[in-house]
Each structure stands twice: as structure tokens, then as C-alpha cells.
Amino acid sequence: MAAAVALARGLRSARCRGVFLARLASVAQQGLCQRAAVVAAPATAWGQQPHTASGVALATRGWHRTYSTPPVEAWESLRQSFSTIDVDVASNGVAVLTIDRPQALNALNSKVMSEIVSACLYLDRNHATAKVIIITGSGDKAFAAGADIKELASVSYADAYHGSMLNGWETLRSVRKPLIAAVNGYALGGGCELAMMCDIILASERAQFGQPEITLGVIPGMGGTQRLPRAVGRSRAMELILTGDFIKAEEAVRIGLASRAVPHDQLMEEAHKVAAKIATHSVPAVAKAKECVAVSQEVSLGEGLRFEKREFWSCFALEDQKEGMAAFVQKRPPVWSHK
């Protein structure tokens, strides 16, 4: 009897490990396939793929990041090709991506989304200086007031189902450098969903969040029904999604949607402070920490703890672990190699 129980436990344990490893493999494979599709698939009339300007194909070079400096010409060529976003990278490692459609309240059409994905993938995989990415909106009214309804209004079911707009959008999940949403106004529909794809949400006191798709006869389609309950709980998420109501920054902080609310004129200063502090740490250690927290939203506690343990021990293969602990013992600041 005891032997049978032991065998059953062993099989159950092996089965759990197998399921966990299979799930991780599936996630990794999905991410690799999505990144390959970003460059390989051609643009369509609705839902264009991210840019394929000179150097952009580098953004999908495998799962592991390379930290060598890419040709300046490649980055400048890509940056100058953008027409709906602006991107600047400071010497301290803080990149700022600004959605630049203030006349449309920074609404997200397929071109905006394509350019956001292209910029983030390139900054993540191939830009050695950029260590943290801040995403914000131009003007004082909106971070992003949702999807561009003028573009979506004429979309057929076939276009929506087979279109590449939302498929490419999910590749942002593969970005390993921290993303900070500096929400300077309305973050509605797709704008709220974009903010939730970021790792930290800082909100201006003027910010408002909401998922008003139900008022248009549709539902959230960029992650709202999945990420909002994980952020604020099932009941509150259900209320926001089914009523289409907006909430202010203070309420967003109270229910756990945003990290904190700051005076409007101090939003970017605060975002830069947070980003600059993160940028002082080891890049691979930051990436591992981000990945572990992300996994916690996808798996059980036991599976997450096992994943965390493996990532923790893998840090001891990093040069930065040796440097960080030596610097602590020697009472000096660490000098990271980011390896």
C-alpha cells in the first residue's frame, strides 16, 4: 500500500513538472514565433505589421538579448521612419516613447501600434544604451483614448479575425526591459490595455482609466478582460467592463491598477526618477526579476516558486552577481558589465 502511494505521488509530481515545463516551452515558443512573425509577415491594409526598415530585423534575433551597440545608422533610420510616435534615449539609459497624435487624443490605429511594437522591440533587443522604456502620450489630455474608431468602424469579421493588428500587439509581452506607463490623461479602451501591458503605471492626477468598449457594442480585445481582473480583482473588473465607467487616478491607485498618482506637472519627472533608478541596476538581473513577476500572473504559486528558484540560482552564472556581492563586501558601488 505504501509503495502504491509513493508511486502515485511520484507520478503526480512528475506529471506536474511535465505540465509546467511544457507550459513554459509553449510560452517561449509562442514568443519566438510571434517575434519572427513581426518581421517576416507582410503588412496588410488593416493592422500593419511593425516596420521592416533597415536594421529592424535585428529586433527578433532569438530569445537572448545581445548587448553590443547596433549601428547608429540602423537606429536613426528606424527612428526617423516613425510618423506617429517620437522616441528619445538619454545617456542614463532612459528611453521615452511618446504617442504623437494629440489631435486624435493619441488614439491607437494600426500604424501607431505597429510603430510602438517596432520601437520597443528594437530598444529591447538591440539598443545597448536603453535600459528602461517610458511610454506616454503627447499633449495634456490623453495617454491614449482608445483604439481609432474611424479605422475600426469599417472592419469586417474576416478582417478582424485574420488581421495582424492585435497579433503583433501581443509581442510587447516579449520585451524584457522594464516598461513604465506615464499616464498623463485619458487611458481608455486600448489605452488602458496598453498601460496594463507595462510593468509600472504612474498616473497624473488628471488621468482617467476605463474600458468603455461595451458602449460601442464590442468587448475589450487587447487584453482588458484578462489583465484587468488580475490587477484589480474579478468583481471590480467586471463592473468597469460591463458599465463602461471611467475611474480617476486616485481610484486606480486604491484598487491596484496604478502604482501611484502624482501632480500633473510632475508626472514625467517622477517617471524619469523611477526609470533612472532601475537603469542603475544590472540589466540581466532586472530582466530576470521582471520575468519572474510576469510568470506569477500565468501559473500556480507552486510553479511560480519553482520558476523563481531556478532564475535565482541562474543569477550565479552572471558576472554581475560576482561584482554585486564583491562590491557589497568591499563597501563600494558596483560596476556592472550587464553580463
Q: Are residues 188 and 171 in the same domain?
A: yes
pLDDT of residue 77: 86
Q: Are residues 217 and 286 in the same domain?
A: no
Per the residue annotation, which of 213, 224, 252, 271 is the catalytic one? 213
Q: Are residues 289 and 275 in the same domain?
A: no
213 catalytic per annotation = yes
167 touches 37 (CB < 8 A): yes
Of 279, 300, 321, the residue at which a domain comes to its end is: 279
| % of the chain exceeding 70 in pLDDT | 78
Highest mean pLDDT among 2-11, 22-31, 321-330: 321-330
Q: Are residues 164 and 252 in the same domain?
A: yes
Q: What is the Cα–Cα distance from 92 to 238, expressed in whole angstroms?
A: 41
- Between the CA atoms of 317, 330, 273 and 315, what dihedral angle is there, to the nearest 10 degrees? 10
Task: Name the DSSP class of 129.
Answer: S
115 catalytic per annotation = no
The answer to whether residue 140 scores a pLDDT higher than 80 is yes
pLDDT per residue as tens digits for the range 154-185: 777 777 777 656 777 888 999 999 999 999 99
Q: How many domains does the chain have?
A: 2
Per the residue annotation, which of 74, 107, 145, 147 is the catalytic one? 147
Q: Are residues 65 and 209 in the same domain?
A: yes
Strands 94-99 and 132-137, bridge-based pairing: parallel
pLDDT of residue 161: 74
Q: Are residues 167 and 308 in the same domain?
A: no
pLDDT of residue 20: 46
Domain annotation covers residue 76:
yes
Residue 304's CATH number: 1.10.12.10
217 catalytic per annotation = no
Q: What is the Cα–Cα distance from 196 to 231, expressed in whole angstroms?
A: 8
**Helix, strand, or coil (residue 147):** strand
Domain annotation covers residue 169:
yes
Q: Are residues 299 and 269 in the same domain?
A: no
Q: What is the mean pLDDT of residues 199-209?
A: 98
204 touches 249 (CB < 8 A): yes
The mean predicted confidence, pLDDT, of the chain is 83
Question: φ, ψ for residue 108 (rounded to 5)?
Answer: -95, 100
pLDDT: which is higher, 65 or 99:
99
Q: Are residues 213 and 336 in the same domain?
A: no
Range of the domain at 211: 21-279
pLDDT of residue 165: 63
Domain annotation covers residue 3:
no
Q: What is the mean pLDDT of residues 74-84?
A: 88
Per the residue annotation, which of 146, 163, 190, 324 is the catalytic one? 190
Per the residue annotation, which of 55, 59, 185, 193 is the catalytic one? 193
- Residue 152's Cβ-count burial label (10 Å; 0-12, 13-18, 19+) is buried
The identity of residue 184, as a single letter, is N
Residue 179's CATH number: 3.90.226.10
Q: Per mean pLDDT, which range of 22-26, 104-108, 264-268, 290-294 is the poorest?
A: 22-26
Q: Please give the model's pTM, rounded to 2 decimal places.
A: 0.80
Q: Are residues 58 and 95 in the same domain?
A: yes
Q: Are residues 292 and 148 in the same domain?
A: no
Q: Which residues are bridge partners to 181 per DSSP?
A: 135, 201
pLDDT of residue 48: 40
Of 279, 294, 314, the residue at which a domain comes to its end is: 279
Domain annotation covers residue 12:
no
Q: Are residues 315 and 212 in the same domain?
A: no
205 catalytic per annotation = no
